[in-house]
Amino acid sequence: MEKIILTAEGKKELEERLNVLKNELIPQVVQRIKVAREQGDLSENAEYTSAREEQGKLEGEKHDIETKLKYGEVISSSSKKDVIEVGSKFKYLDIEENEEYIFTIVGTAEADLTKGKISNESPVGKVLMGKKVGDVCVVNAPKGGNYEIKVLEILD
């Protein structure tokens, strides 16, 4: 199994979600299945079917998290705050768009654009690893074309 890179914060979030799944969500859906079974004919019982589907999704998520935690390697940011690495929060400028962005580089298992977390394996993440404030980099966009970004600041 390929190693999975996690930040300490990401590992904690996964452990918390696993706890919620095991101790709240899965037991609730198991109870829903039990109640639906007591209603009789399962072939026409929408609640039973819905609960079983939800159970499958939750069990799949639980398995996925357990795998990430089992094979995950927690990478701690070094005390050096002058280079971008996994766990670094930084601000960069998209030179063409003249737009500033703030992101944190995390492992693929934690990546979530809506939370400002990009993977170290993403095009932007790859090009920024090891870079310093003031460095200008060329990002190879997945849909073709390249664009330049400039590291403005490495944050806490």
pLDDT in tens, 6-33: 888 889 999 999 999 999 999 999 999 8
Domain total for the chain? 2
pLDDT of residue 42: 67
| One domain, residues 66 and 31 | yes
Inside any domain, residue 40? yes
Indicate the range of 19-28, 32-41, 48-57, 125-134 predicted with least confidence. Answer: 32-41
Global pTM reads 0.75
Same domain, 36 and 93: no
In a domain, 61, yes or no: yes
Average pLDDT, integer, range 77-95:
84
User: Which DSSP string do the residues of 21-85 spell out, in sequence order?
Assistant: IIIIIHHHHHHHHHHHHHTS-GGG-HHHHHHHHHHHHHHHHHHHHHHHHHHEEEPPPPS--SS--
Q: Are residues 138 and 106 in the same domain?
A: yes
